[in-house]
């Protein structure tokens, strides 16, 4: 579970060319990727994964891209799928796929319930 400095720099440069306010944050040996406040991608083992949902997952599966499994092949599947290498190289395709991942992140953020504030006694 590592991300090389060169891969991280390459992916962030590509994403910054097609999306706004791209930034990264190291986490658990990988890298979380944000656009503004939206967490829409992650890097692990020199692989880029975009956030998916039921609306977008099919495109990844059609391209035979697998899900992110932080604990190996037998472990939990997270809602992030590997981005095809040809998409990463093609800025128009990367913009389109990245926009869809941002849409998933927006929808997920809206679905999260707000925590009720508890007043001190």
pLDDT at 2: 85
Domain presence at residue 61: yes
Domain presence at residue 92: yes
Cα dihedral sign for 38, 27, 14, 82?
negative
Domain presence at residue 75: yes
Most confident of 25-29, 62-66, 67-71: 62-66
pLDDT mean over 21-26:
95
pLDDT tens column, 70-119: 777 776 778 999 999 999 999 999 999 999 999 999 999 887 655 555 55
| Total domains in the fold of the chain | 1
pLDDT over 90 at 65, yes or no: yes
What global pTM score does this model have?
0.87
Buried b (16+ CB within 10 A) or exposed e, 1-29: eebeeebbeebbebbeebbeebebeeeee
């Amino acid at each position: 579970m590592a991300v090389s400095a060169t891969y991280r720099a390459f992916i962030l440069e590509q994403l910054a060319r097609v999306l706004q306010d791209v930034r990264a944050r190291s986490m658990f040996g990988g890298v979380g990727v944000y656009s503004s406040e939206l967490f829409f991608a992650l890097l692990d083992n020199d692989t880029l994964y975009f956030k998916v949902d039921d609306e977008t997952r099919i495109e990844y599966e059609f391209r035979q891209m697998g899900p992110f499994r932080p604990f190996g092949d037998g472990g939990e599947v997270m809602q992030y799928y590997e981005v095809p290498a040809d998409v990463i190289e093609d800025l128009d395709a990367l913009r389109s796929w990245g926009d869809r991942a941002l849409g998933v992140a927006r929808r997920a953020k809206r679905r999260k319930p707000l925590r009720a504030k508890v007043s001190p006694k």
